[in-house]
Structures are given as C-alpha cells and as structure tokens.
Structure 1
Amino acid sequence: MGTIFGKQIVAEPAFEVLYRQTQQAYEIRRYATRFAASTSTDANSDSAPFNALARYIGVFGTPENQGRTAISMTAPVVKEESSGSSQPEAMAMTAPVVKTPSDPNGEAGMVMKFILPAAYDSMEKIPQPTNPRVHIEEIPPAVGAVHRYSGSFDDTVSRNKARWLAQQLREDGVDITEDYAVEHYQFWGYNPPFTLPMFRRNEVWIELDATQVDQIVNGKGGAASSTTAVN
C-alpha cells in the first residue's frame, strides 16, 4: 500500500545540495558519476521503453542481460528528449527513472533511463544487455537545478515545469534561456504509475555549467547539505 501513497521503497543516488530556494521550491544539486541502462523510442507511449528496461533488470522474469543478473530497481526513472551466456544471477531497482525527449533521426521521440544501483560503479561490473535497443551509459558528474512537484507524468506538464524553473533561475541571476531549458531538461520519476498523483514525487532537472552554478550559489550564498541513497 505504501507505493500507492507515495512511499519510496527503492534507492536513489546520493547527491549534495549546494543551494536551496525554499520560497520558489527548487534546489541546486551535485551528483557524482552514475551509470544507467537506457533505450530510445519514437513512440509517444512510455510503455515500450519502460518494459525493455524492466526486462533488462529482471522485473518480468529472467533478466535480459549477459549473466541473467537481476538488478535492483532504483529511482528516479529518467525521461529526456534528444537530437539525436553464464549462470543466472539477479539487479535491485533504484530511482529515479529518467525520461528525456529524443530526436535521433529528425523525428520526435524520447530516451528513458534506469539509474543503476551504486554497487555498479564501473562498466566492468555491469551486466551487458542482450536486447540491442538497451545500452549502458556512464553519466558524468553534474550540477543542476531541480524542481519537485506532484501530479501527472505528462510530458506537457514537465515541459511547462522546466519553463517555470528556467524563469525562476533567471530571476535569481542565472543566465539561462527558456529554449535551453526546454531542449535540455529531464523528467525524473520516483513512483510507479499506480501511485496516486497527489502523492507522487516528480522532478525536472536542468543541468548547469560552472558559470551558472556560480551565479546562483555564490550570488545567493547558499549553504551546502547532503543526502545519501534511500534504501
């Protein structure tokens, strides 16, 4: 029942909070290197990429990876737009799932990523997918602005949240355009689809460069704090 009411029961990557804007409900986070399983689609539905990634980690039976390793689910699931045989083992799920828009062939689409558990901290440790549409990628260290909200997973909603976040950053002295935000934001989802919308933890993330980080962190005098992975 906990997942229906938004209780998070999977791990998420550790991060450091460099600045928190409590009035406008966003924060600046620093993440270390992470690894993710990713896939892309030109379809509007999330089900095909989610199912491909879920099969990779073993949610629906035998994991579709070399070694048949079941991998724990983590959070968030990430979504974003973009232009462009051994003995069985088992992986845990983490959060978030990441979703970003995708356009590798000039057509609209989306990239979805499952962030892998912290134990998978090098390419050598990660079971390779047997599905050619699933890829393992290294996500380099990054600093970005994050806005948390509840409600719909809808792409239009997340895009508008990214526009709103860019506006707040501009008002706080950061050189950032709405176009950049819309083209580069990621949606991070921390809950399964059956979680009641009012209890969901959704986030939009916009990566920032060193100059932009300095404009907000040093300009506002934010104090750093940190969080560790949720078990």
Structure 2
Amino acid sequence: MTRPTTRTARALLGTVLLLSGAFAMATEEPQYQILRTTEDYELRLYDPYRVAEVEVRGDFEKVGSEAFRILAGYIFGDNRGETKMAMTAPVSQRPAETTREQAGTRLEMTAPVSQRPAGTESDSDSDAYVISFVMPQSFSLDALPRPNNPRIRLREEPAGRVAARRYSGSWSESRYREEERHLLEALRRDGLQPRGTPIYARYNSPFSLPMLRRNEILVPVAD
C-alpha cells in the first residue's frame, strides 16, 4: 500500500485535530469595539483582520468538511516554509458570489486561481460557498506563508461596522435562516443598511454540545 505523502499526512492530522475540538480551545478572535447592544443584535466596529479562505460547492450544512480539511492543512504546515499557526475563531461561511465585489484587499497568489467576472453569477452558483479561517493577528497580509494549495486565497478584511446576532444550538440551515431573518428584520426596523450578504460564524467544535455553542450571524452595515 502506498504511504501518504508528508503533505497529505499533515492535512489529515490537521483535520483530525480540528474536528476533535482543537479550535474549540481557540481564544484569539478579530478585535472589535461594541458600539451598541439591542435585544436582537450587537453593533460592532471591527479592526482589519486577515483570513485564509477556500471556495467549495455542496449542501449548506456539509460544505464545511471539505473546506476544513484544506484550511486545516494550511495552518498546520502545508505552506511554503512549513509554518504552523495557531487556530483562531470563528470559522465563517458565506455565499461565494459575495467575495467578488465585496471582499477586502487580497494577496495575489503565484499559482493561478480561477475567478468569475463580476456580474456573471448564475443559479448554478447557488451551492458555492466560501469558508474562511481567521489568521493570527501577529501576521500581516504580506507575512502570511503562501499556501501550497492554489485553491486557498489570503485576504484582508477591512475595518467596518458589523451587526452580530448570537445564538446557540443546532447548526442546521433551517435554524440559521430563522435567525438570519430575525436579524435582517431588526436592521430594517432600526434603519441600518446592510452592505453585504450575511456571514455564518461558528466558534466551537462540531463535537461541542449544541446548548453550549456560540453561533453568530454577521451582517456588514453601512456607516
């Protein structure tokens, strides 16, 4: 039987550590100030932060598995220089089309990454999502190690205001949609204008008890 390559072994190890609760112990998160708290959401002002992200296709509730494997491999050393990085929080998920015009500064990769021209998305893209890992604050965008996997993009999320609705429990799409609808209705009521598609942020291991999970819906809002 063929032995797995070092790169593959590291990716598999990263996935095992991730899914066994490694990122549940993460303490570092993007820095923000709380501007206002209501019964329905928290209005935050985020500092810029860096992310590694990958686009995947599939069911809303299942696309995370493939993305976790790829991104965990990157932070556990599948990069130029074999640099290992600490796991942070949250792990975010959003529709792929929102990254074309609304993403922040992106670090260009040496390997080609396929992109769709703006405005060319179709119904066939409705099952495409971008999954993101937040990078440690100690790394600037230029200092982040280059991924060996050309599917991974490195990007800086710009500073800005974000409305965050927190909830615990199931990771199901039906629960997410319920909370998303509640948040968007509250923003309309309060006269806040969303400037991007809602982002699904998860802070815990898949093996954590649902009642103890921290889940958030993040909606960038206009200044």
Deviations 1:28-56 (A, max 9, x none): 00111110000011122210011100000
1:7 to partner: Cα distance: 7.0
Name the residue aligned to 2:199.
186
Counterpart Cα distance in 2 of 1:34 and 1:54: 18
SS in 2 for 1:184: coil
Alignment: residue pair count: 177
C-alpha spacing 1:17/1:132, structure 2 compared with 1 (3 Å): same
The residue identity in structure 1 corresponding to 2:176 is S
Return the match for 1:80 from 91, 94, 100. 94
Return the match for 1:146 from 164, 175, 178. 164
Name the residue aligned to 1:225.
none
Name the residue aligned to 2:52.
37
Tell whether the 8 Å contact from 1:35 to 1:115 is kept in structure 2 after alignment. Answer: yes
Counterpart Cα distance in 2 of 1:124 and 1:175: 32
Tell whether the 8 Å contact from 1:142 to 1:207 is kept in structure 2 after alignment. Answer: yes
1:173 to partner: Cα distance: 3.1
SS in 2 for 1:165: helix
The residue identity in structure 1 corresponding to 2:215 is N
Hey, which of these two has a bigger chunk of strand by percent? 1
Name the residue aligned to 1:201.
214
SS in 1 for 2:45: strand
2:28 matches 1:11: yes
Tell whether the 8 Å contact from 1:162 to 1:206 is kept in structure 2 after alignment. Answer: no
1:78 to partner: Cα distance: 0.7
2:125 matches 1:109: no
4+ runs deviating over 6 angstroms? none
Counterpart Cα distance in 1 of 2:24 and 2:201: 16
Computed over aligned residues only, the root mean square deviation of the Cα atoms, in angstroms, reads: 2.3
C-alpha spacing 1:175/1:64, structure 2 compared with 1 (3 Å): closer
1:131 to partner: Cα distance: 0.4
Name the residue aligned to 1:158.
176
1:14 to partner: Cα distance: 1.4
1:175 to partner: Cα distance: 4.6
Task: State percent identity of aligned pairs.
Answer: 32
Counterpart Cα distance in 2 of 1:167 and 1:154: 20
Counterpart Cα distance in 1 of 2:133 and 2:192: 30
Name the residue aligned to 2:117.
none
2:145 matches 1:134: no
1:135 to partner: Cα distance: 1.2
